[in-house]
Structure 1
Amino acid sequence: MIFAARQLQEKCQEQNRELYTTFVDLTKAFDTVSREGLWRIMSKFGCPDRFILMVRQFHDGMTARVLDDGEASEAFPVTNGVKQGCVLAPTLFSIMFSAMLSDAFQNSSLGIRLRYRTDGKLFNLRRLQAVTKIKETVLRDLLFADDCALNAGSEQEMQASMDKFAAACDNFGLLINTKKTEVMHQPAPKAQHQVPTITVKGQKLQAVDQFTYLGSTLSRSVTIDIEVNCRVAKASSAFGRLLTKVWDRRGISLVTKLKVYRAVVLTTLMYASETWTVYRRHARQLNHFHTICLRRLLRIRWQDKV
């Protein structure tokens, strides 16, 4: 989904379009799902009755306790929401979320419109201006579990989308967290940036220049400069936390240290790097950090000759 978000940003720039994206945060999304409504939605989507019954039995009889100052309360029934930590929970929520969006945007053409070719010749932008073999698609939302990003091509469309989305949330028992819901405006090339004014039930949403989406930083400048800086900072923090416990311990072999380095530090540094458009300055910055870490692991000083 991170790749889709970055591609959407790049295609809007290539096709000289502005992009408005609202990153919606739902308050306790998994805990507020109506189970009876979920079973009806699954049946409407064609799920077998035996499968629905099996999933239903997973959730029947759920109880919870509250721990206060070391003392647990009496058990009370839990009748709403899907199981936290269950592998089925994101899928079940996505089914309910898809039904909600279908209800919100039925017979609506809101979204960002992008052109594409049907013959696979995508890299020559002039071909997108041709009359034949060109189609236009509308991208309205990006969904991953309870993370939702709504897209539009103008501020008016973005406001209309949020109005429909908020009304659907009320119908399905979901609550939008307006304090954490943020909107980002990416202007068209050579166009002036304008701070968007989007409201939800009279409350103005915060406008941002960058947003951390699924752990990766998206910027209205459509570069990965900020993302690379964040990756290096987080990898440096991960490396520093293991300084005395792993890297400086002489009882741990170099092979083990390198395995830990690959598993902890490199994975943090290169998270979602498959979605990046990398330039030389980014490669130099990443290689510089990588070299510093390896020098520390191998105990090579600057004055040493290798």
Structure 2
Amino acid sequence: MENSAVPTGLFSFQFSFQEKVSFHSNPKECSNYHTIALISHTSKVMLKIFQARLQQYVNGELPDVQAGFRKGRGTRDQIANIRWIMEKAKEFQKNIYFCFTDYAKAFDCVDHNKLWKILKEMGIPNHLTCPLRNLYAGQEATLRTGHGTTDWFQIGKVVHQRCILSPSLFNLYADYIMRNAGLEETQAGIKIAGRNINNLRYLDDTTLMAESDEELQSLLMKVKEESEKLGLKLNIQKTNIMASGSITSWEIDGETVEAVSDFYFLGLQNHCRCGDCSHEIKRPFLLGRKVMTNLDGIFKDITLSTKVHLVKAMVFPVVMYGCESWTVRKAECRRIDAFELWCWRRLLRVPWTARRSNQSILKENSPGCSLEGILLKLKL
């Protein structure tokens, strides 16, 4: 099937449907719902094949500032880049201005006809784009209400949530916007090793950077204008600006772009005037404690070695997320050691009031590499 379908593109994706699912706490709010695609296993196998063949073209088109769903890249890289820039700005006493942009329903607003045009312009061969057209061709939807369902209607937008191809397709769609916005040619940005950098991206999470308020606003307006041409709209309420110096809020189309002193970027908090991250290290330990507490019910009926593996697989990654960019001092090392020992004592149900040394706790659990050792490995 692969040898005949992939070169010709004559493969029809059937037996898939989409469902609206709420990913937020309030299911009564329509804007909290997103479409996910439920695709047959046969189609998933073919999509995996197409994704592997499409990836070589995607890697050739995307710039190195895009880290979303690319081999050897990830959220940690962009988090480290942002923090490194902040630290250097503080060290050299320079003002750096950031704009963290957010699209409203990014995946839901990708226009199919414009997507096929972009793929053609980027040189994606027909034997790969034809199956993609088949995947999205003839899509229909209906709305279910308290009074029944509506008539079926055609869908001309959306890249499927939870589909293996969607991140690559959206990356190409978003990169086309940035190219047309002229971000590579403009002089606005910050100079690093003789190179001008004005944006860092992870899928639809884009951070614009400049050395002045005016340059940053110019970059944002260019991106906004080109995005609207392709059907994507900036969510101004979730778009924020931040600076190492003074900055005031902006007004764009009657909406306020809020100036903030800290911002959660890819899950971690960044402060504009703090080059260090001592304030942020506290948060992952609180999250780790919450995960550890939630595991109490599971720990009752499993062996000790399984408990240790669960802690190392489910608790430690939460704590260590983004640790590559941490500046670890003696106080942070003590906090790391204290958290690890708290985990092992809770696992053994040994209270702090019990007269047991830390060495005896570690010997009984035999955890292997310590949490501090894991941190050092990740930072290398």
- Scaled by the length of structure 2, the TM-score of the pair is 0.68
* AA at the equivalent of 1:206: E
The 5-angstrom pairing of residues 92-171 of structure 1 reads 92-105=169-182, 107-114=185-192, 116=193, 136-171=194-229
| Matches of 2:160 and 2:340, distance apart in 1 | 40
SS of residue in 2 equivalent to 1:179: helix
Instruction: Map Cα deviations across residues 244-293 of structure 1 (whole Å, 9 max, x no partner).
Output: x123x1x2211111111112111111112123222222222222112111
Shift of 1:20: 0.8
Residue 288, structure 1, aligned to residue 362, structure 2 = no
- Sequence identity, in percent? 27
Shift of 1:301: 3.2
Aligned to 1:304: 355
Residue 264 of structure 1: which of 303, 310, 314 is its match? 314
| Matches of 1:203 and 1:197, distance apart in 2 | 10
Instruction: Map Cα deviations across residues 91-128 of structure 1 (whole Å, 9 max, x no partner).
Output: 111111111111112642221222x2xxxxxxxxxxxx
The 5-angstrom pairing of residues 6-25 of structure 1 reads 6-25=83-102
The 5-angstrom pairing of residues 68-83 of structure 1 reads 68-69=145-146, 72-83=149-160
Q: Is the 8 A contact 1:22 1:149 kept in 2?
A: yes
| Matches of 1:83 and 1:61, distance apart in 2 | 14
SS of residue in 2 equivalent to 1:39: helix
Judging changes above 3 Å, is the alpha-carbon distance between structure 1 residues 35 and 84 closer, same or farther for their aligned structure 2 residues?
same
Shift of 1:72: 5.0
SS of residue in 2 equivalent to 1:205: strand
Instruction: Map Cα deviations across residues 13-63 of structure 1 (whole Å, 9 max, x no partner).
Output: 344321111111100001111111111111111111211112222211223
Aligned to 2:69: none
| Matches of 2:337 and 2:146, distance apart in 1 | 50
RMSD across aligned positions (CA): 1.9
* AA at the equivalent of 2:208: L
SS of residue in 1 equivalent to 2:337: helix
Which sections of structure 1, spanning at least 5 residues, go unmatched? 117-135, 188-193
| Matches of 2:336 and 2:147, distance apart in 1 | 47
Residue 213, structure 1, aligned to residue 291, structure 2 = no
* AA at the equivalent of 2:283: C
Aligned to 1:242: 295
| Matches of 2:287 and 2:323, distance apart in 1 | 14
- Scaled by the length of structure 1, the TM-score of the pair is 0.84
| Matches of 1:173 and 1:64, distance apart in 2 | 20
Q: Is the 8 A contact 2:142 2:151 kept in 1?
A: yes
Judging changes above 3 Å, is the alpha-carbon distance between structure 1 residues 253 and 67 closer, same or farther for their aligned structure 2 residues?
farther
| Matches of 1:204 and 1:180, distance apart in 2 | 10
Aligned to 1:274: 324
Aligned to 1:51: 128
SS of residue in 1 equivalent to 2:248: coil
Number of equivalent positions:
277
* AA at the equivalent of 1:159: Q
Q: Is the 8 A contact 1:19 1:154 kept in 2?
A: yes
Q: Is the 8 A contact 1:178 1:205 kept in 2?
A: yes
Judging changes above 3 Å, is the alpha-carbon distance between structure 1 residues 12 and 298 closer, same or farther for their aligned structure 2 residues?
same
Judging changes above 3 Å, is the alpha-carbon distance between structure 1 residues 305 and 219 closer, same or farther for their aligned structure 2 residues?
same
The 5-angstrom pairing of residues 156-235 of structure 1 reads 156-187=214-245, 194-220=246-272, 221-235=274-288
Instruction: Map Cα deviations across residues 61-87 of structure 1 (whole Å, 9 max, x no partner).
Output: 223343435955554332102111111
* AA at the equivalent of 2:327: T
**Mean CA deviation greater in 100-109 or 64-73:** 64-73
Q: Is the 8 A contact 2:237 2:256 kept in 1?
A: no
* AA at the equivalent of 1:195: I
Q: Is the 8 A contact 1:246 1:252 kept in 2?
A: yes
| Matches of 1:76 and 1:37, distance apart in 2 | 20
SS of residue in 1 equivalent to 2:233: coil
SS of residue in 2 equivalent to 1:138: strand
| Matches of 1:274 and 1:72, distance apart in 2 | 51
Q: Is the 8 A contact 1:62 1:78 kept in 2?
A: yes
Judging changes above 3 Å, is the alpha-carbon distance between structure 1 residues 102 and 293 closer, same or farther for their aligned structure 2 residues?
same
| Matches of 1:240 and 1:11, distance apart in 2 | 38
| Matches of 2:320 and 2:343, distance apart in 1 | 14
| Matches of 1:88 and 1:235, distance apart in 2 | 32
